[in-house]
Chains A and B, each alone.
Chain A
């Protein structure tokens, strides 16, 4: 019985089921269930894609329609299972060839899906389909393509005459000037314009006397009442004496007023009697015309105009599209004209033509970027694909409403986040103990302490203060003379004198420039695969140091780094040069040189630039939005791609498309007699607006995003109308970096100045007012004292963005003179509230650079002359000469150079992933990313370094030599000097005693029995000196 039923079922299936349904049931449905439904079914489907009904599959997911019935090549499902265009499904192993073939057959045959459910509207499906750019001659379009003129294929210098514009369709229908070339020719050559009015793309410029025509011997294959499609990328201008009909482009034989009334051509022109309207004319009086005056607003604007005609009466069968959008016939704007059926015929003397080609024909004036002609009325999908190609190329929106991302909307909660609110005017708070207050900063400190019922701790002594402030501002220990002078200065200005001396010292920039270099991930090699040496990066490093030393206003400092090359040139060569070098900011990041997918490598560099700009300048983590809207902050993926477009329009490489290519390095001419300076700096490239890369994948594209800054800042409750205006014209010919830079460095940007003020505070105290200095977003800390932050920020802005004035506000306060947090907490019985941490100086270990500099300074070996090209020269001299362009680093972390170099540590070579031991061991910034707060580790390898490394050994030796060189002194005096040099204070009697005992014991050691007395004595002094350099009092600042 069971067997019988089974047979029956098969018979029924064979008898009544269509072959395509059977194919689906047998081969496709099981496959979908088995390999796809785990992720792509039900309401939780991944990527928004459901493959459990035909409607859902047609609607598709985030990337577009999974299946397009009858069109396997347009079905993302097929691309995904074939692993094409960056899609790879299913993730757990490719389908077999037979399975892929089954899917393809199913889609090709119409994708029947018996028992389909859940209907969705056609509009909904449409809204989810993003048109992907399609090459004009790709796939089945190739055979229909009759003519393809593209200005970017012209190999001409700017301004050169275009006598011949080659046809790229493969038919050889080049168009050429006719005047003086052909008998009776009237059209002169066009002009090649590299930066045309088509948003700066290459184009051919036409005057009303310019005309280019193809040979009549090789006519396009469009005759009679044929279907056709013509696309023109153009920017037309009006001019005095514009003819009544200005012809733009023509296929066939145009008729003039004297000819018999028959449409023999497809002539595109501007019709003046219709008050400037676009006209698709078949001949005199036979045309399809758009509404009168409708072209007027399009003069002077780049457009893609597409004309699609199907067979039949000219008025009824012509469709006009501008920038992908149907403009005629549309409701309320019917196309007028006559209902004649065209009969296209070719002339014997001339083929297709552009502009002025016949003596009686008036012609247009303007720029033409590209011309496409098909002998086919392109289907909407194909037309949009080709228009998308033209749009991407010329920076034009295609069907803007559907394809361009709208400005993001933000919730009230998002808008109310503290960091996006304007900086407030603050009056420093009132305090009880007025006598304690020295500067306004102290009012905030004291008010906070009083609110907790605490008295501030006592001041440190002058010696401790001097060591603290000297390390903090210059990264060097105070010399014994400096200590003596400060202690001797009993005047009320003693502190100010010292602080001003330090701020005016060239060593200030060497210390504070290094903080900036931490943030901007400064290094002199590319990291990743090649780790190639960037021999001129040091110019940027020195730019930063100089900027700090010269107190370059911080807003200007930021603008120069982001867009110094775009600032109007000044009369000063030095300033112009400096501004180019400043853009090294965009160049010094890690970059993969051997990445096969070059565009990927470019997008990774853009990502790095966005990450650094976001965190260092704005205190926001923007990089998350590469793949999705920020999970916590009001940063959308569209914000990311708005900025990414700006950076992508800036080119770091000399060759945009080649793999393993060199970044930009070029000489900047100097005054006569001075060698040019080589800068490592980017250049502007063709500006573009990027599409959202869904999940960060560049092969799955969403809507186009106009270039611009972060949306949220312009939408806070207090934002003015002008704040909301776009700062960048997305079609403009420059990248928009300068506009972005000015937006960032604006006093009305609520983030920039606050972030900087907080950083400077954080580097002087135990922590920042905002504890997360590179995250002012909702996941960052709320300011422990918002009033103090805003008060300081206001002061900073009023000082003209002067960082040195900001230091003075801070280090001249009583707050900065207090005992450190560690000492204070020891004296208080109850724990000190965490909220007060921001007002306290902490005990800190010397940074890696301070440690090395202090070693050399104490031993007397430090060369205080500013470094220049030593680092780059050295790395280059050792680099591997792979092809003389890209030079991989070959210097190890323990290279002898790092032991023998005598200049300050900021001038050491910085090789990514191969930092010198002294830097890496003591927690120097990893130049692969932004470092806002350095680690402070204590590990045995640091002990090994201090005990055994040649650098420390040599410096303790030099220190001992320095002590012993003066034969006039006795050992007690030497011990005293050693303490003064290492600690800035005298030796205590106990230390004298302990040291003397050590020196004696050491020299008596049986291990040294074989050596001379002088050798023993020296070894003992060296060991003593080294112990000073290893001691906590030396390694820590109180």
Chain B
């Protein structure tokens, strides 16, 4: 019978920061820090009032076909088997043939009547909370590796901090006893850890990986969070350590670095107590498990990921990336599109809808940004007889909650879905918009490295205000 908000308050510890960084780079950012101690993970005030306090990024690895999911193209049915009447892009991954009609029908959903294909009936049911962007452009990154890096870090070429790391750097963490940025089952391929890494930002901001794309999420564990000693004994040991360090501090100090180190052990001790509790989804009711499709196939694994994401967000984790990733889960339908997308959609559709509904029921959706993204779309022309190739030139993603206007679409592609014809959204635009909901100005969120200020959006990016409330 707990009120969700109270439960969150209980779960969230004081946002007191700790620690020191040798770099002066953080000082400018620290001017926004709350609390008496300016630590890298201390909660920081955003640049302007935020509509989203936390983020869950549902990442679909492999490339979800836009023309089979959120961007209906009747013209493809009409011209099925015929050649594309204009030139194909300069950069293509493989070769494609003639146009291929979508094997799925599209239905109108909700008050808004936005069309969603039969792949995603459950997500369709939530469409009035969703803003679909049909005009994403992934530059010329036609391979998975660069394209994954592009959506996750803003650069398909250079090593850069990822979106989650920038978010944590910009806002700090609400709960010092949990990692501020978790990546669930990320792929070890196609950029691997770079996709949740901090690059030149201090390592504090990197994503903590839980599981990987090659392992069932049931098996995922957080390293170093299982106590090496029984807690009672570890307490004795920590007390000995504390006495020793305090004697040392008395002779050498005062020194904030030495003091922060002493504090860090206490925080570690609390973290290892709290994290397993938050990570334990068995504490949820059977109804909740059922709603997320846990315990039944094909939704068990992604359901677990989504439910854990909700528990973490509720406990004050700033950014959770939920990956549906290679090699076990992969949207890369070069052949047999029908089978590939049917199988994959059946695994994620229900859990994603359950997450949206659950967040809403707990009054969390209004300040939680939900992102559904993929590295590129798929070619409206067929690869082989029944597949689709990589297509970064136009594809669809969607956002929900956290200040996003629900039940709208933004941008358009041509009648085949080949090119963006209206309101192109580049990756920097997409990232700028996400940061904007978090109250962060993408042009001001900078980090001085190698002699210049770096941004997630480099020197580009416009906030897509049309999809904001």
A-side residues, CB < 8 A to B, are 82-84, 91-94, 96-97, 527-531, 590, 592, 594-597, 600, 604, 611, 615, 621, 623-624, 772, 774-775, 777, 779-780, 822-823, 826, 843, 845, 888-890, 892-894, 912-914, 917, 920-921, 923, 926, 928-930, 933-949, 952-953, 990-991, 994-995, 998, 1001-1002, 1005-1008, 1019, 1023-1024, 1026-1028, 1030-1033, 1035-1036, 1038
A1027 touches B241 (CB 8 A): yes
Asked whether, in the complex, the Cβ of A596 is within 8 Å of the Cβ of B143, the reply is yes
Contact B233 A1008 (CB under 8 A): yes
Which residues of B sit under 8 angstroms from A621, Cβ to Cβ? 450-452
Q: Interface 1/0s, chain B 86-111, versus A by CB < 8 A?
A: 11011101000000000000000000
A-B contact pairs, 8 of them (CB 8 A): A822-B252, A893-B193, A923-B202, A928-B200, A935-B23, A949-B223, A1027-B240, A1038-B252
* Cα distance, A1005 to B239, chains bound together (Å): 14
Output the nearest chain B residue to A608 by Cβ-Cβ distance.
Answer: B158
A597 to B40 alpha-carbon distance, docked (Å) = 39
Chain B residues near A (Cβ < 8 Å) = 18-23, 40-41, 86-87, 89-91, 93, 135, 140, 142-146, 149, 157-159, 176, 179, 188-194, 197, 199-200, 202-204, 206, 208, 212, 223-230, 232-234, 236-238, 240-241, 243-245, 247-249, 252-255, 257-258, 260-262, 264-265, 267-269, 271-272, 419-424, 449-452
Query: Do residues A947 and B192 form an inter-chain contact, with CB atoms below 8 A?
Result: no
A891 to chain B, nearest CB (A): 10
Q: CA of A93 to CA of B134 in the docked complex: distance in angstroms?
A: 12
Which B residues touch A1005, using CB under 8 A?
Answer: 232-233, 236
Distance in angstroms from A826 CB to nearest chain B CB is: 7
- Are the CB atoms of B203 and A921 closer together than 8 Å? yes
Q: Contacts A926-B200, A1033-B244 given: A592-B157 contact, CB under 8 Å? A: yes
Q: Assess whether B451 is in contact with A780, with CB atoms less than 8 Å apart.
A: yes
> Contacts A83-B89, A592-B146 hold; do A941 and B268 have CB atoms under 8 A apart?
yes
Task: Please name the residue on chain A nearest to B206 by beta carbon.
Answer: A920
**Docked complex Cα distance between A947 and B258 (Å):** 17
20 more A-B contacts (CB under 8 A) besides A529-B190, A845-B261? A97-B86, A597-B91, A604-B158, A615-B450, A890-B188, A914-B192, A914-B193, A928-B159, A935-B22, A936-B20, A937-B19, A938-B260, A938-B261, A941-B179, A941-B224, A947-B227, A948-B224, A1024-B237, A1027-B241, A1038-B252
Known: A944-B271, A1033-B248. A1002 touches B236 (CB 8 A): yes
Return chain B residues, CB-CB under 8 Å to A923.
202-203
CA distance A96 to B176 in the complex (A): 52
Q: Is the CB of B245 within 8 A of A1002?
A: no
Q: Given A938-B19, A994-B240, does the pair A949, B224 have CB atoms closer than 8 Å? A: yes
Shortest Cβ-Cβ A-B pairs, 10 listed: A529-B145, A943-B268, A928-B159, A936-B22, A621-B451, A938-B19, A913-B193, A940-B267, A948-B228, A913-B194
The CA-CA distance from A407 to B410 in the complex, in Å, is 50
Query: With A920-B203, A935-B203 known to touch, is A528 a contact of B424 (CB < 8 Å)?
Result: no
Q: Write out the residue numbers on chain A whose beta carbons fall within 8 Å of the beta carbon of B144.
A: 529, 594
Choose from A929, A948, A1024 the contact partner of B226 (Cβ within 8 Å).
Answer: A948
| B452 / chain A contacts, CB cutoff of 8 Å | 621, 624
Q: Which of A595, A930, A937, A946 contacts B143 (CB 8 A)?
A: A595
A84-B90, A531-B192, A596-B93 given; A933·B159 CB < 8 A: no
The answer to whether B268 touches A940 (Cβ under 8 A) is: yes
Report A-chain residues with C-beta under 8 Å of the C-beta of B449.
929
Does A529 lie within 8 Å of B22, measured CB to CB?
A: no
Give A530 to B423 CA distance when docked, in angstroms.
33
Decide: A1024 and B451 in contact? CB cutoff 8 A.
no
Instruction: List the B residue with the shortest CB-CB distance to A1026.
Output: B237
- Assess whether A93 is in contact with B422, with CB atoms less than 8 Å apart: yes
Pair B193/A596 contact, Cβ less than 8 Å: no
Complex contacts, B245 vs chain A, CB 8 Å: 1031-1032
Q: How far is the CB of A533 from chain B (nearest CB, A)?
A: 13
Residue of A nearest to B160 (CB): A928
Assembled-state Cα–Cα distance A942/B224 (Å): 9
Q: In the complex, what residue of chain A is closest to B223 when comparing beta carbons?
A: A894
Q: B227 contacts A948, CB within 8 Å?
A: yes
Query: Do residues B176 and A940 form an inter-chain contact, with CB atoms below 8 A?
Result: yes
CB of B26, distance to nearest CB on chain A (Å): 10
Q: Are B265 and A943 in contact (CB under 8 A)?
A: yes
> What is the CA–CA distance of A597 and B265 in the complex, to the nearest angstrom?
49
Write out the residue numbers on chain B whose beta carbons fall within 8 Å of the beta carbon of A531: 191-192
CA distance A708 to B342 in the complex (A): 58
Contact B157 A1031 (CB under 8 A): no
Chain B residues within 8 Å of A84, by CB: 90
Known: A83-B89, A596-B143, A943-B268. A527 touches B228 (CB 8 A): no
Name the residue of chain A whose CB is nearest to the CB of B412: A93
- Cβ A947 vs Cβ B234 within 8 A: yes
Q: Are A93 and B21 in contact (CB under 8 A)?
A: no
Determine whether the beta carbon of A94 is less than 8 Å from that of B420: yes
Chain A positions within 8 Å of B19 at CB level: 937-939
User: Could you tell me the distance in whole angstroms from the C-beta of B378 to the nearest C-beta in chain A?
Assistant: 16
Distance (whole angstroms) from the CB of B27 to the closest CB of chain A: 14
- A597 proximity list for chain B (CB < 8 A): 91, 140
Contact yes or no, A888 B451, CB < 8 A:
no
- The complex places the Cα of A998 from the Cα of B191 at a distance, in Å, of 48
Residues in B with CB closer than 8 Å to A530 are: 145
- With both beta carbons as reference points, the residue of chain A lying nearest to B197 in the complex is identified as A913
Residues of A within 8 A of B230 (CB): 1007
